[in-house]
Amino acid sequence: MSQTEYLIIAIVILVILAVTFIVSFVLYQRTPKPKGCEDLKPSDEKCAGCTNDACAFYKEKDSVESIEKKEEK
């Protein structure tokens, strides 16, 4: 096979990878949570040391805290 053909194959594979990622991401988001897990909350035990604000969960934890603060006031 020539270099160009290899290049085309490589680009096709990269595109397939990107599509797989996007499709699986969307599917993961859309799949309903299994029974009994609808309201899983970050527990302080597990998350206290972590400050990763890229984690979708961190925001929830944040909002929980802010709600508690509001209630205190």
Partner 1 sequence: MSTFISFILAIISSMLIDNVVLSRFYGICPFLGVSRKVKSSLGMGIAVVFVIILATCICWPIYTYVLVPAGIPFMDTVAYILVIASLVQLVGLFIKKYSPALYKTLGIYLPLITTNCAVLGVVQGNTDQGLTFLNALANGVGTSLGFLVVIVVFSCIRVRLESANTPKAFKGLPIALITAAIMAIAFMGLQGLFSGIKL
Partner 2 sequence: MKREKGQTKKNFLKGIIQENPLLVSILGTCPALATTKSLEAAIGMGILFTIVLLCSNVLISLLRKLIPDEIRTPAYIVIIATFVTMVKMFTNAFLPELYSTLGVFISLIVVNCIVLGRAEAYASKNGVFDSFIDALGMGVGYTLSLCLLAFFRELLGTGGFTFGQIFTFIPLTKLIIPGAEKFAISLFQTPAGAFIVFGIVLAVVAFIKNRKAELKAFEAKQAKLKAAEEAKAKLAAQQAQGGQQ
The binding site for partner 1 (CB under 8 A) comprises 3, 6-7, 9-11, 13-14, 17-18, 20-21, 24-25, 27-28, 31, 33-37, 40, 42, 45-52, 54-57
Stretch that binds partner 2, among 2-10, 15-23, 38-46, 64-72 (CB under 8 A): 15-23
d(CA 48, CA 43): 8
Among 53, 65, 67, 68, binds partner 2 (CB under 8 A): 53
d(CA 64, CA 41): 9
CA atoms within 13 A on the CB side of 54: 0
